[in-house]
Amino acid sequence: MSNEARALEARPEPTGASHEVAPTEMFFSTTDQRGVITDANSVFVRLSRYPLSSLLNAPHSIIRHPAMPGGAFEVMWLTLNGGDPFCAYVDNLAADGSRYTVFATITPLADGGYLSVRTRPLCLDLLDTVRGMYAVARPKELEAREGGASAHQAAVVGLADLAAQIAGAGIGTYLDVMHLILPAEIEARRAAGVGIPRRSDAEGPVGRILGSATELSDALDGWSERQQELTSVADDLVTAQAALTASMDAALAAANQFKDALAAHEGFSPVLMTIDLWAQMMAVIVEVGDDLAEDLDTLRNSCRSTRFRVSLAQLHDEAVGQFAAEISDGGLEPALAVRAGSSIVMLCRAMSEGFELTRIEMSRNADLAHKTVELIADAGGLIAMPTDLIVNWRAQVAGRDDAAVVALIPLVEEQIRAARSSLEMLTALGERCARLAEPYDTSAADALLDAMSRQADALVLDEAG
């Protein structure tokens, strides 16, 4: 039997009781590649109600609540094994059988392990939505198990059900869920006044860590505001492009309707040739719009990913401050005091790795934004051509007595006007997006992070001595 299987068998039965996580309480743990706990902080020890000795070297599944669908952990491992951070709302089971709910983030580390920071969920509407999905998926997993499926096979069933629910809710994929909930939880923490603790009497390495963490928090808040604005503009671009596509589709339909009407009457051959050309041009413009839609979707997802990484850095920086405050306040047993210092080192390392990926994504966002501006300009040039043709049509049908044919002209013009309006909106949004997407200087944040790492190293040495 595997260690995880033994841990699951040894779990206590849920009692129905629960206990709350305070907004300022931050769990911290690290695991190896197999999910075995290698480190934990005092908050994890206290709220899991396991002694530190029972947590260390145990599989993290020791705290898994049986109401949690295996599909949620299946998508977790798929995400982590892909090298990307993961976050989710999780119900955990304490040693005494009580439940406690957390918002968990897990980050892959360069050495192959994983770092997890967990906080109290503050976005209760999102929590309720996700819990509702869990409540639907879990019984289907249990039914699969009763039918002879293995734990893994049942988890795959749960994963498929969760994916279907997320898609059915119009959210997209689980990646979209993560890009939604982590920034929302960070914003909620800011709104609740939760952040870097203030310890005016803190001195030495701890005081310097708190000072640097506070400065870094201010810098990251600025990054977050800019990324939030950029993501909002990217979302607006997608909406405006959809309106442009709808206008182009309607214009093409109007062109074909116009062409059919002209073909049924004599004396309209020149106009018919012109409208046929226009219809062909509109088909090309629709294709350009499709290409633009694909690129805008890529841009939006990239911007959301960058915002997610900035939010993760904010969470890790707050954790550094919380752990430094724990050390400053005293009262930790020696083993946990040393681990708090080591945790800060680990968090700084994770932020450093995240900063590098954030810089790469910012450069990618800038490239995508500039490409978007070029595509919008290309679409504008194409749309201008059929607009000019309308003037010729008016001259060609002037004086004609076929009211049905003449009446179609305003319909075509209206679609072109709608397309031009959408294009103007796209142009303005594209230029704004390109300005916001320009990579910004991270050297000051890098220096603060480096200073925290050096002070944390000194702190570990002092505590170990």
For 234-253, how does the pLDDT look when each residue is reduced to its tens digit (9 = 90+)?
Answer: 999 999 888 878 877 777 77
The DSSP H or E segment spanning 40 is strand 37-40
Q: Which tokens belong to 62?
A: 């020791």
Q: What is the model's pLDDT at position 1?
A: 47
- The parts of the chain modelled with pLDDT lower than 50 are 1
The pTM (predicted TM-score) of the whole model is 0.88
Q: What is the model's pLDDT at position 66?
A: 94
pLDDT per position as a tens digit, 421-452: 888 888 999 999 999 999 989 999 999 999 99
3-state secondary structure of 93: strand
Q: What is the model's pLDDT at position 50?
A: 94
Residues of 154-187 as b/e, b for ≥16 C-beta within 10 angstroms? bbbbbbebbeebbeeeeeeebbebbbbbbbbbbb
Q: Which domains does the chain have, with CATH numbers?
A: 3-168 (3.30.450.20), 204-464 (1.20.1270)
Closest by CA position to 27, among listed 319, 352, 373, 414:
319
Q: What is the model's pLDDT at position 400?
A: 60
Closest by CA position to 233, among listed 55, 75, 365:
365
d(CA 35, CA 28): 14
Q: What is the model's pLDDT at position 285?
A: 72
Cβ pair 337, 442 in contact under 8 A: no
Cβ pair 29, 42 in contact under 8 A: no
